[in-house]
Structure 1
Amino acid sequence: MKRAVCIHGHFYQPPRENPWLGEVGVQRSAAPYHDWNERVTAECYAPNTAARILDPDGLIEDIVNTYSRISFTAAPTLFAWLARHRPEVYGAILDADRESRDRYGGYGSAIACCYNHVIMPLATPRDKRAQIAWGIRDFVSRFGREPEGMWLSETAVDLESLDLMAAAGIRYTILAPHQAAGVRAIGEEGWTDVSGGRVETKMPYLCRLPSGRSIAVFFYDGAIARDVAFGDLLFDGRRFAGRLIGAFSRGRDRPELVHIATDGETYGHHREFGEMALAYCLRAIEARRDIRLTVYGEYLAAHPPTHEALVREETSWSCAHGIERWRGECGCHSGTHPGWSQAWRCPLREAIAMVRDALAPRSEEAIAALVRDPAEARDAAAGLVLGRWSDESVAAFFSRHAPGGIDAEGRWRALSLLEIERQAMLMQASCGWFFDDITEPGSVQVMRHAKRAMDLARQVLGIDLEPAFIEILRRAPVNEPGYATGADVYDALVLPAAVDLPRIAGGIALYALFGLEHPAAASGLYDVAGDWPYRLNAKERRILGTVRVRSRATGEEALFDAAAVFDGLDRVVLGVREPGSGEALEAVRESTDPAGAVSGTFSRVYTAPDLSEEERWAIAREIAPGIGDAVSRVYLEAAALIGVLDDLGIPVPGAAARLLAHARAERLLAMINEGCPDSGRFFALAGEMQAGSIEPELAALVEAASRRITRALRAAAARPDDPAPLEEVSRIVGCAKVFPLPLALWESQNICVGMRGHYAEMRERAGRGDRGAKRWTEAFGRAAACLGVRVT
C-alpha cells in the first residue's frame, strides 16, 4: 500500500430532544420535515446508504453505500436518534461497517466520538473521562467492536484529552493541519516548525503524552478539504477523484496517504447530490491498481508512524482563534449575520460552568453514599441510557454497583443523581456557542439541559442554582429583536419547555383523545398507563380517566385524574389533579359545560395557550384530513346545482369553482390510490382540469403516487414472477407525468436496482420461450425506464 486515499466524514447532529420528554419537538425552520434530524437524514444520511452513480444517459447504473468505503464518525447523539426513528438507515450504516471490515483487513470504517460533542479543552478532567468512556461504550454497543479511533469535537485538542483517550485504548485521532506545531523523525533531537498548516499531511505522526503514553495523529489535507466543504469540488465526482489522486508526491518512493476530513453532512445536505459525487469518486479510485482506498486503522497498522509531532493545544478546526468561539467574542460566526455581536458567548459559558462546578462535588458526594464506586458507576450509566432505563438495565446496574442492596428511596436518588450528571454533560455541547446568537436552537438547547439539571438538583440535593444562572444570563446581550438579554431568552424559550409529571399527564389525556402516543412514552423516558372509562365520541371530543406516569430515568412516579376537552385548537382545556372519586369524574362527563366543569373541578388546568408547538402540530395533523372531508361534503350537497350550471355554460361562482376543483382532485387521488387501473379515465379528468385552468393540490398527489409506486415495487420484489405490480408502476408514473409530479422515487429505485439480478434470470427464461417470463421482463424494463434505472 504505497499510495492510499482515505475520506473521512464527521457525521453528527446535536442533541435536540426536549430534556424532560426525550423527543425532538417540531422545528418550523426544517419544513416540510418535522425537525432538522428528519431533514438532514432525508438529504444526507439516507442517500449515503444508497448513493447513485449515473451512466452517460442519466440512468442509475449502480448504487453505493458510501459508509462502507469511507472513514466516518459515529456520533452517539445522532446514532441514538437514527436507531429509534430511522432504523433502516441505522441498520444500513451498521452493515456498512461490517462490510468495511472485510474490505479493509478487519479494520472498520466507523470511529468513535466524544459522547455529546463537548469542547474537550474546556471540560473538567472528570467530564473528559466521562465523555470518552460514554463515547466508547456507545460505540461498542452499536458496532460490536472496540473503536480504533476517536473524533474530538470540532477537533478541539489538548494533551490531557489525548492522554485520557490513549489510556482508554484509542489508537488515533484526526486533526487539522494548522493544529501541528512541530515535527521530527522518531529518534531525532531537534524539531521542525510546521505551524501555519505547513505540516506534511501524507503520514501519521506519533504524539507523546505527559503520562508516557502515546497516540497517533493524522493531520488531514486542509486545501482539498476546504474545496470539498466550501468550494465546487463536489460538482463533479470525476474531478473530486482527480484532485485526490493528484495530491500524491511525484517521484517519492515512501508510502503516502492522501486524506481529508469534512462534516459528513457536506455529502448531500450542505451540497445537494454531494453523495453522488462522493460515490463516483470512490468508484474511480477503487478502479485503479496503483492506489488503494483505505481507512485510518488499516493504514496505521501497515505504516506505523516514523515521525512524531507536537500538537498545538486549545486549537480546533473551525475557529481561527483556537477555541475562543466557544467562550468569547472572537469574531468567528456562521456568515449569516456578519454584523452581529458574539458578546453573549462569555456569559453563557460562565453560566453553564457555574452549574457544572456547583453540581459536580455535591452530586459525587451524594452518589458515593449509594454506590460502591461513584466514578465507575458514572461511566457505567451510559448503559442505562442505551437500555432506555428499562427495568432490566436498571436492575443490572444496581446489582453491579450497589451489591449490598438499595431501597426504593435510594434507587430514586441514585437514578436522579445520574440523570443530573447526564444533563450536565449535555448542557456543554459545542453547538451552544457555535452560531450567531443566544436565541439560536443550539444555545437554547444547552440552556434547557441546564434547566433540567438544576430542577433535579433542587429536588435531590436541595440546592437552587437557577436564580444565579439567570443573573449571569442578564449580562448576555441578544442580537435578535424582541429580547434584551439572555435572561429574556431563557424566560421565553427555555421555561415553557420544562414539564413536570402533572403537565405530562395532561398532555397524555390530550393525545389519548386522538388515539396518539404521547412523546414522553414514545421516547422511552416514561412508562405511561392510562385508563379512560369516560370517553365520549369523536364529535364531542372529551376524555376523562386516570393516568399513571413514571419516569424511567429517575423513578419518579405519580397517579392522576386527568381530563381533556377539545373544541378546536383554540378551545382546549386539560385538567389534572390528585386521584378522586369516580363520581366526580362522572359529574364532569355529564356536564353541559365540560370545559367549565374541568376548570372548576381540577386543581391544575391548561388551556390552548399552554399547548407546546409539538402538541399543536400533532393535533393539527390529526384534524387536517377532516378539512378535506368537510369540503367534499359541501361539494356533494351542491354537486347537482354546480353540474347544471356547468352544463348550461353559466359561469360557476368562485367558491363553487373551488369546490369543483377540490372534488376533481379527490377523484384523481382516488385513482392513484387504486393503482390507476384505467389510465384513460385519469388522463381525461386531468385534461378537463387543465382545460379549465384548475390546479390540483400537487403535494397530496405526489405523496399518494410515490407511496403507491413504492408499494408496487415491494410487491414485485415479494412476488418475483408476477408482472402486475411492475405494470402498475408504469401506469402510475405515466399518469404522474401529466402535471408533472416530482415523485419521491428513492426507495423504489433502490428496490428496482436490487431486482436486476432476477431480471437477468427472467430474460434467460424468456429467451427459451417462457411467455410469462417475457411479459415480466418487458414489464420490468418499462418500470425501470420510468424510474430512471438502467437494467443492464
Structure 2
Amino acid sequence: MGESRPALAVHGHFYQPPREDPWTGEVPPEPGAAPYHDFNEKITAECYRPLAERCLFERISFNVGPTLIGWLARHAPETYRRILEADRVNVARGVGNAIAQSAHHTILPLARRRDKVTQVYWGIQSFQHRFGRHPRGMWLPEMAVDLATLEVLAEAGLTFTILSSEQVRGPLPRGAGPYRIRLEANAYFTVFVRDRDLSNQVSFAMPSLGPAERWAAEALRGRTALTLLATDGETFGHHHREGIDFLDRLLRPPAGAYEVVTLTEYLRAHPPMEEIEILQNTAWSCAHGLARWSTGCACTPGDSRWKAILRAAMDLLAEEIDAAYLDLAHGWIRDPWRLRDEYIHVVLGAMEAPALLREFADRPLPSDVERRLLLALQAQVHRQRMFASCGWFFEDLDGLEPRLVIRQAARAIELIEQATGVDLAAGYRRALALARSGRTGKTGAQIFDEIWAARPRLG
C-alpha cells in the first residue's frame, strides 16, 4: 500500500432485525414488501444476492448482523456461501475483511453492563460459528458508543470499531485513522473514523453523484491519508437501485486515482499512533445523543413520547424476567449469567441444551427443573431481542418495527410463566398503556393485546 495516492475503504453494515415469529420461527408475510413475502426476501433479491454474485463482498469491509446471516443460511444458502467465501479469499491473502456485530442491534450504551457483555459475546460467537475465526473488529449498532461499551469490546479480545467524524474530538491528521482511544488503566482501543459528509452523499444523494469512480477521484483529490465511507450495506441495490453498479465502479478506480483497501488490511500495515477522544452517548443516526431510542427527539416527526414509555416498559420487564430467572436458577446453577452467555451455542445449533445445563449445574438436575431452566433460557433470548434498535427508530408506535419488539416481549413473558408460574403480562400491559400511536390512536397496551391474542398456543 503506497502513500503516494489516497486510500479508500468502503464499509457496508448489513443487518435485518429478527423478523421471525418468536412462536413459530417463521417470518410472517410483510405486506410492505410485496411482491415479496417479507423484507428479508425483498432485500436479498435487490441487494445481498447481486452483491454476492458480483463478488463485491470480497473488496469491501463488511459486517453481517447475526440475525440476518442466520436467515440467509436458512433461506438463501448460495448467497450465504458467497459471503463466507468473500472473507475466506481475504484470509488467504493475509487477513479477513469481515468484522462482527453485537447480536441483536441493541443500543449498547443504553444497556446494563451484563447485557453489553452478552450482546458482544453472542456477536463474537456467532461470527466464529459462521466465519470460522475470531473477529478483529466489531460494528456497534447505530455506531452508538460510550467508554463502557469500548471497555467490554476490549475485554472480549476485539481490536477496533468504526465511528463517525461527528462522534470524536481532536485533530484527524490520518484521515480515517486508525486512532487510539484511551480506556481505563492506560489501555487503548482502536477506532476508524468515517467521513460523514462523503458517506452521506453515497447514502442519500447517489443518483446525483454521477459515475462512482469519477466522483471518488474528485472527492479524494489532494488527500494523502485513508478515507472511509461507511454506510448501510442496503444502500447498494435496495435503497438505490443503481447502487450495485455504483459500488462496483467505486471499487475499480482509474489508474493512479486512489487505492481501494479494507480496514483490517490497512490496520495491519498502519498501527494507530495518534490519540483522539470519543463523544460519549452519541450515534451516527441521531443528532440528539441517544434520544431517538430513549426519550424521543426531533429526528422523527410527530409526538415521539411513546419511545420513552416503550423503553421504560422494556427495562422493567427485563428486570422482572431476570429476577424470575435468578430465582429459578438459585441452588442449581453456579453462574447463571455465564450460563446465559454460553446459551448462544444452543441458539446456533452447536450444542445440545441439556449438555450445557449439566456443565453449569451444581448437582444433578431433576427433569422438571431442567425443563423449566431451559424455558427460562429461551425467555432470555427473546428478552435480548426485545431491545432491537429498530423498535424505536421510526416515528410511530403502531408500525412493523415496534410490533417486532413487543412480539419478542410477549414471547418472553409466556416462556417465563411456563418456567416459573410468574405472570408478567398484566404489569407489562400497564406499563405500555400510556404509549399511543399518532397514526392509528392505538395504545401500546392494545397492540400488546392484539399480539397476545393472536399468539399460537404451543403448550
| TM-score, length of structure 2 as denominator length | 0.94
2:120 maps to 1:132: yes
Q: In the TM superposition, what is the alpha-carbon distance from 1:111 to its structure 2 partner? A: 0.7
Q: 2:409 aligns with which of 450, 453, 458?
A: 450
Q: Could you say which residue in structure 2 is the equivalent of 1:370?
A: 332
Q: Could you say which residue in structure 2 is the equivalent of 1:278?
A: 247
Q: Which moved more, 1:200-209 or 1:310-319?
A: 200-209
Please list the CA deviations of residues 30-66 of structure 1 after superposition, one character each: whole Å capped at 9, or x if unmatched.
111111111111111101012xxxxxxxxxxxxx311
Q: Could you say which residue in structure 1 is the equivalent of 2:180?
A: 206
Closer, same or farther in 2 for the Cα pair 1:219/1:472, shift >3 Å? Answer: same
Hey, what's the Cα distance between the residues in 2 that align with 1:501 and 1:341? 37
Q: Could you say which residue in structure 1 is the equivalent of 2:449?
A: 491
Q: Could you say which residue in structure 2 is the equivalent of 1:245?
A: 217
**Where do 1:444-483 residues align within 5 Å?**
444-481=403-440, 483=441
Q: Which moved more, 1:460-469 or 1:38-47?
A: 460-469
Q: Could you say which residue in structure 2 is the equivalent of 1:168?
A: 156
**Where do 1:211-226 residues align within 5 Å?**
211-226=185-200
Hey, what's the Cα distance between the residues in 1 that align with 2:150 and 2:369? 36
**Where do 1:21-60 residues align within 5 Å?**
21-50=24-53
Q: 1:79 aligns with which of 50, 69, 73?
A: 69
Which amino acid in the other structure matches residue 314 of structure 2? I
Helix, strand or coil at the partner of 1:322: coil
Q: 1:264 aligns with which of 223, 227, 233?
A: 233
Helix, strand or coil at the partner of 2:105: coil
**Where do 1:343-382 residues align within 5 Å?**
343-382=305-344
Q: Is the 8 A contact 2:324 2:416 kept in 1?
A: no
Hey, what's the Cα distance between the residues in 2 that align with 1:276 and 1:34? 26
Hey, what's the Cα distance between the residues in 2 that align with 1:219 and 1:162? 15
Helix, strand or coil at the partner of 2:240: coil
Q: In the TM superposition, what is the alpha-carbon distance from 1:410 to its structure 2 partner? A: 2.3
Which amino acid in the other structure matches residue 364 of structure 2? G
Q: Is the 8 A contact 1:17 1:23 kept in 2?
A: yes
Q: Is the 8 A contact 2:170 2:276 kept in 1?
A: yes
Q: In the TM superposition, what is the alpha-carbon distance from 1:209 to its structure 2 partner? A: 1.0
Which amino acid in the other structure matches residue 90 of structure 1? Y
Please list the CA deviations of residues 122-145 of structure 1 after superposition, one character each: whole Å capped at 9, or x if unmatched.
101010000000000000000001
Closer, same or farther in 2 for the Cα pair 1:399/1:212, shift >3 Å? Answer: farther
Hey, what's the Cα distance between the residues in 2 that align with 1:276 and 1:370? 57
Hey, what's the Cα distance between the residues in 1 that align with 2:452 and 2:67? 23
Which amino acid in the other structure matches residue 316 of structure 2? M
Hey, what's the Cα distance between the residues in 1 that align with 2:214 and 2:362? 60
Hey, what's the Cα distance between the residues in 1 that align with 2:215 and 2:364? 62
Closer, same or farther in 2 for the Cα pair 1:251/1:323, shift >3 Å? Answer: closer
Helix, strand or coil at the partner of 2:184: coil
Hey, what's the Cα distance between the residues in 1 that align with 2:133 and 2:149? 22
Which amino acid in the other structure matches residue 222 of structure 1? R
Hey, what's the Cα distance between the residues in 2 that align with 1:233 and 1:305? 35
Closer, same or farther in 2 for the Cα pair 1:101/1:288, shift >3 Å? Answer: farther
Please list the CA deviations of residues 659-701 of structure 1 after superposition, one character each: whole Å capped at 9, or x if unmatched.
xxxxxxxxxxxxxxxxxxxxxxxxxxxxxxxxxxxxxxxxxxx
Please list the CA deviations of residues 714-763 of structure 1 after superposition, one character each: whole Å capped at 9, or x if unmatched.
xxxxxxxxxxxxxxxxxxxxxxxxxxxxxxxxxxxxxxxxxxxxxxxxxx
Hey, what's the Cα distance between the residues in 1 that align with 2:187 and 2:208? 39
Helix, strand or coil at the partner of 2:71: helix
Which amino acid in the other structure matches residue 237 of structure 2? G
**Where do 1:511-660 residues align within 5 Å?**
none
Q: Is the 8 A contact 2:382 2:411 kept in 1?
A: yes
Q: Could you say which residue in structure 2 is the equivalent of 1:560?
A: none
Q: Is the 8 A contact 1:431 1:443 kept in 2?
A: yes
2:99 maps to 1:142: no
2:206 maps to 1:232: yes
Q: Could you say which residue in structure 1 is the equivalent of 2:272?
A: 305
Q: Could you say which residue in structure 1 is the equivalent of 2:458?
A: 501
Q: 2:106 aligns with which of 118, 122, 134?
A: 118
Which amino acid in the other structure matches residue 46 of structure 2? E
Q: In the TM superposition, what is the alpha-carbon distance from 1:259 to its structure 2 partner? A: 1.1
Helix, strand or coil at the partner of 1:46: helix
Closer, same or farther in 2 for the Cα pair 1:497/1:79, shift >3 Å? Answer: farther
Please list the CA deviations of residues 276-329 of structure 1 after superposition, one character each: whole Å capped at 9, or x if unmatched.
1111221x23x6457432211121121111211110111000001011000123
Helix, strand or coil at the partner of 2:170: strand
Closer, same or farther in 2 for the Cα pair 1:413/1:20, shift >3 Å? Answer: same
Helix, strand or coil at the partner of 1:341: coil
Q: Is the 8 A contact 1:224 1:244 kept in 2?
A: no
Q: Highest CA radius of gyration, 1 or 2?
A: 1
Which amino acid in the other structure matches residue 120 of structure 2? I
Hey, what's the Cα distance between the residues in 2 that align with 1:473 and 1:199? 48
Q: In the TM superposition, what is the alpha-carbon distance from 1:406 to its structure 2 partner? A: 2.5
Structure of greater relative contact order (alpha carbons < 8 Å, 6+ residues apart): 2
Helix, strand or coil at the partner of 1:110: coil
Please list the CA deviations of residues 527-571 of structure 1 after superposition, one character each: whole Å capped at 9, or x if unmatched.
xxxxxxxxxxxxxxxxxxxxxxxxxxxxxxxxxxxxxxxxxxxxx
**Where do 1:332-351 residues align within 5 Å?**
332-333=299-300, 338=301, 340-351=302-313
Q: Is the 8 A contact 1:159 1:209 kept in 2?
A: yes
Hey, what's the Cα distance between the residues in 1 that align with 2:176 and 2:248? 23
Q: Could you say which residue in structure 1 is the equivalent of 2:294?
A: 327
Q: In the TM superposition, what is the alpha-carbon distance from 1:219 to its structure 2 partner? A: 0.9
Q: 2:383 aligns with which of 395, 407, 424?
A: 424
Hey, what's the Cα distance between the residues in 2 that align with 1:397 and 1:490? 33
Please list the CA deviations of residues 340-363 of structure 1 after superposition, one character each: whole Å capped at 9, or x if unmatched.
321211111110011012222331
Hey, what's the Cα distance between the residues in 1 that align with 2:182 and 2:338? 27
Which amino acid in the other structure matches residue 38 of structure 2? D
Q: Is the 8 A contact 1:247 1:258 kept in 2?
A: no
Q: Is the 8 A contact 1:76 1:115 kept in 2?
A: yes
Q: Is the 8 A contact 2:410 2:448 kept in 1?
A: no
Helix, strand or coil at the partner of 2:100: strand
Closer, same or farther in 2 for the Cα pair 1:452/1:297, shift >3 Å? Answer: same
Q: Is the 8 A contact 2:206 2:240 kept in 1?
A: no
Hey, what's the Cα distance between the residues in 1 that align with 2:68 and 2:412? 22
Q: In the TM superposition, what is the alpha-carbon distance from 1:240 to its structure 2 partner? A: 2.1
Hey, what's the Cα distance between the residues in 2 that align with 1:442 and 1:48? 26
Q: In the TM superposition, what is the alpha-carbon distance from 1:235 to its structure 2 partner? A: 6.0
Helix, strand or coil at the partner of 1:370: coil
Q: In the TM superposition, what is the alpha-carbon distance from 1:408 to its structure 2 partner? A: 1.6
Closer, same or farther in 2 for the Cα pair 1:245/1:403, shift >3 Å? Answer: farther
Q: Could you say which residue in structure 2 is the equivalent of 1:4?
A: 7
Helix, strand or coil at the partner of 2:370: helix
Q: Is the 8 A contact 1:204 1:218 kept in 2?
A: yes
Please list the CA deviations of residues 66-89 of structure 1 after superposition, one character each: whole Å capped at 9, or x if unmatched.
101101112001001000111111
